[in-house]
Structure 1
Amino acid sequence: MTDTTDPTPNPHATAEQVQAAYGDPKLANVLYHDWEAGTYDEKWSISYDERCISYATDVFRAVAGEADWPYPTAMELGSGTGFFLLNLMQGGVIKRGSVTDLSPGMVRVALRNAENLGLDVDGRVADAERIPYPDDSFDLVIGHAVLHHIPEVRAAFREVLRVLKPGGRFVFAGEPTRIGDSYARRLGQFTWWLTTNLTRLPALRSWRRPQEELDESSRAAALEAVVDLHTFDPTELERTALGAGAVDVQAVTEEFTAALLGWPIRTFEAAVPPEKLTLRWRWFAYRAWLRLSVVDRKLLAKVLPRELFYNVMITGVKPAAPTEP
C-alpha cells in the first residue's frame, strides 16, 4: 500500500496549474501523469497478458541477459501504471516488487493493477533524485521511459546505485534517442493534424472524437512538451552512468522501422473514438510492429549506427563491496 502521507492524485489540472507547470518540470510531471493515470494503459495499448509479458522480458533479456533470473527484490523507478515491473514479474524475472513514481495517481493505478494480478508489490510516491528507501535495499532497479523525465539524470543514477545491493543491477529501457525523437515527433504531429482534419469531413465524422476530448488531449500534449526533458545519445548516456559510479555499463538501441510505423499508429489511436479500434485492428497493429522490430533487431541493427534507432536501453551494476583484507 502507499504511505498514508502520500499526496492525493489530481486527475484534471486547471489551465492555471498547467501555466504554472511550465516553469516547474516536477510539478508538470505530477500534473501530467496524474491526468493520464486513469487512461494511460489504454492510450499506450498496455496490457498484462502474454503480449506485453513477452515484450517486457524480451527487452530485459536484450540488454541484461537472463543469468540472474529471478531477482528476489526489484524496484521500478517512475513506474507509471506498473507496465514494466508487473510484466517482468509475470514473466519470471522478478519475485517481489516495489513501484515508485512522482505521480500519486500513477502509484495508485500501479498498485491496483498489481492487486488485480495477485502480485506481491508495495508502492511509494517518490522523487527519483531522493528515493525513499534505505541503502542496499534491492537486487534490481528498473525503469521504462522514465530517465527522460528526470531533471538530474546523473543524480538519479547515484540514487539508484545507493538503493541497490552491492553487485545489484539496474535496467532502464524505452528512452528516446536524439535522432529517434526528432523523427517520431514529426510523424506524430503530422498524423494528428491529418487525422483530426480528415475526420471533420461528413463521411468520416463518426471517426472523430468529441471536441472536448480533443481539446483535453491538446492540453495534455502541451504539458508533455514540458515533462519530456531529455533525449539521449547512447554513448553519452553510458558516460553518465559510469560517472555516477556504475560498472559493467552497456547501452543498446532498438526500433527504427518499428518506430516509423508505431508512432503514427499510436497517434491515430489517440485521435479517434476507442470503440472504432476493434480487436482485429489492435492485433494488426501489434503484429506489424512486432515484425518490424524483428527486422530492426536481426538485420538493421547490424548495419545502421545505433544512434539512428528510436529507443535506447541501458544496464549497469553497483560495484561489489570490497572484501576484508
Structure 2
Amino acid sequence: MSAAAVPPPDAGPDPEPNPHATAEQVEAARRDPKLANVLYHDWEAGSYDEKWSISYDERCIDYATGRFKLVAGSDGWPYDRALELGSGTGFFLLNLIQGGVAKRGSVTDLSPGMVRVALRNAAGLGLDVDGRVADAERIPYEDDTFDLVVGHAVLHHIPDVAASLREVLRVLKPGGRFVFAGEPTKIGDLYARKISQATWWAATRVTKLGPLRDWRRPQAELDESSRAAALEAVVDIHTFDPDRLEAMALGAGARDVKVVTEELAAALFGWPVRTFEAAVPPGKLGMRWAMFAWRTWERLGELDTTVLQRVVPKRFFYNALLTGTKAVR
C-alpha cells in the first residue's frame, strides 16, 4: 500500500470510505493485504453489525466483558483511556466501555468506512470516543498515551504482528495492559474454513431448486459475496499457535503475558450457521432463528468452558485470547 493510503500521525483529514471498489482495485488488492483490508472492510462496513449479529446491549456487553475477564480478569477497572486497534464498527471497545472496563476511548482501523460507523455507533450510545484511520503497525498516537489497548479479531489481519505489538507497548502507559481476543488458531481456522466452504456450496446449490428459490439470495448479491469471500482470503493473513503467540508478545517486550483459547463445540456449530445466514436473503430467517442460533452457540460455549477446556489441548479451540502488560520503569 502506498504511503498516502495509510496516513502518518501528522496527516490531514482521514480518507473517504470506498465501498464500491473497481475490478482493477480488487485485483491490485490481491497483491497488497493492507489495501485488501481497506477495500473489503469499507465494502462490509454498512452491513457488518447485521452480518455478525453485533449489538450494543446487554447480550454483547456481557460477551465482550466476558472475553476480557477470561484472559485478563477484572483488576484495574475502569481503565481511564483505552485504544482499540482494527476496531471495525466498534464492537469490542464500545461494549467494554458500557460494561465498565474503560471510561473513554479511541477507535482506529485501516478502513475509513469502519471508523465512520464506529464513531456513529459511539455517538448514538453517548460514549466519549474519538477515532482515526490508522495502520496498526504505525499507531498515530504519542508514547505512553493509553491505559489499555484492545482488539478483537484484528491481529490475524496485520502483516507484521510483532511490529504492531511493539507499537502497542509504545503507546501504553507503564503498567498499562493490552487484551486481544477472537484470533484464529491454526487448527481452528482449518476446520472452520472447511465447514464454511461445504455449507456455502450446499446452501447455494440447494436454493437453486424450484421450491427453495425464494431462499436464494439474489444472484448479483451472491456474485458480490463470492468476490468478497475471495478477498477475505487475502485479508486473513495469519493463524496462530497459542504458544508461539505468547512467545511473540514476550519478544516484543511485554510482561505478564498469557494466552487462553475458547470455542470448540461453539465454533463447530457457529461457522456453518453464519455461512448459511450469508447465503440466504437478509431477514429471511427471522428473530426466532436468530435467538435459536445465539442461545445454542452460547450453551455450546458453556460446554467448552466447563468441560472441554479441561480435557482438550488449547490448540484445538478456535479462538485465541492474548494479554500482557507494559513494564513499569
TM-score (norm 2): 0.96
Are 1:241 and 2:255 counterparts?
Answer: no
Please show how residues 107-256 of structure 1 align to structure 2 within 5 Å.
Answer: 107-256=115-264
Residues 206-244 of structure 1 show CA distances to partners (whole Å, capped at 9, x for unaligned) of: 110100000010111111000100000000000000000
Are 1:62 and 2:70 counterparts?
Answer: yes
What is the CA distance between 1:142 and its match in structure 2? 0.1
Please show how residues 241-280 of structure 1 align to structure 2 within 5 Å.
Answer: 241-280=249-288
3-state SS of paired residue (2:237): coil
Give the unaligned 5+ runs of structure 1: none
Are 1:293 and 2:291 counterparts?
Answer: no
3-state SS of paired residue (1:205): helix
Residues 77-99 of structure 1 show CA distances to partners (whole Å, capped at 9, x for unaligned) of: 00000000001111111100100
Give the unaligned 5+ runs of structure 2: 1-10
What is the CA distance between 1:260 and its match in structure 2? 0.2
Instruction: Give the match for residue 305 of structure 1.
Output: 313
Cα separation, 2, equivalents of 1:308 and 1:48: 30
What is the CA distance between 1:16 and its match in structure 2? 1.1
Letter in 1 for 2:187: I
Cα separation, 2, equivalents of 1:277 and 1:83: 23
What is the CA distance between 1:4 and its match in structure 2? 5.4
3-state SS of paired residue (2:81): strand
Residues 237-259 of structure 1 show CA distances to partners (whole Å, capped at 9, x for unaligned) of: 00000000000000000000000
3-state SS of paired residue (1:99): strand
3-state SS of paired residue (1:196): helix
Pick the aligned partner of 2:42 from 21, 28, 34: 34
3-state SS of paired residue (1:75): strand
Letter in 2 for 1:40: Y
Cα separation, 1, equivalents of 2:283 and 2:52: 15
Cα separation, 2, equivalents of 1:89 and 1:275: 30
Alpha carbons of structure 1 residues 71 and 116: separation in structure 2 relative to 1, 3 Å: same
Letter in 1 for 2:149: V
Instruction: Give the match for residue 23 of structure 1.
Output: 31
Instruction: Give the match for residue 100 of structure 2.
Output: 92
Letter in 2 for 1:249: V
TM-score (norm 1): 0.97
Residues 256-305 of structure 1 show CA distances to partners (whole Å, capped at 9, x for unaligned) of: 00000000010011110112121111000000000000000110000000
**Which structure 1 residue ranges, 4+ long, deviate > 4 Å from structure 2?**
none
Cα separation, 1, equivalents of 2:317 and 2:277: 23
Percent same amino acid among aligned pairs? 74
Residues 79-129 of structure 1 show CA distances to partners (whole Å, capped at 9, x for unaligned) of: 000000001111111100100001111000000000011111000100001
Letter in 1 for 2:167: E
Cα separation, 1, equivalents of 2:170 and 2:34: 22
3-state SS of paired residue (1:274): coil
Cα separation, 1, equivalents of 2:53 and 2:276: 12
3-state SS of paired residue (1:162): helix
Letter in 1 for 2:176: G
What is the CA distance between 1:5 and its match in structure 2? 1.5
Cα separation, 2, equivalents of 1:113 and 1:277: 25
Are 1:75 and 2:83 counterparts?
Answer: yes
Cα separation, 1, equivalents of 2:135 and 2:207: 41
What is the CA distance between 1:200 and its match in structure 2? 0.5
3-state SS of paired residue (2:148): strand
Instruction: Give the match for residue 316 of structure 1.
Output: 324
Q: What RMSD, in angstroms, separates the aligned Cα atoms of the two structures?
A: 0.8
Letter in 2 for 1:301: Q
Letter in 2 for 1:209: R
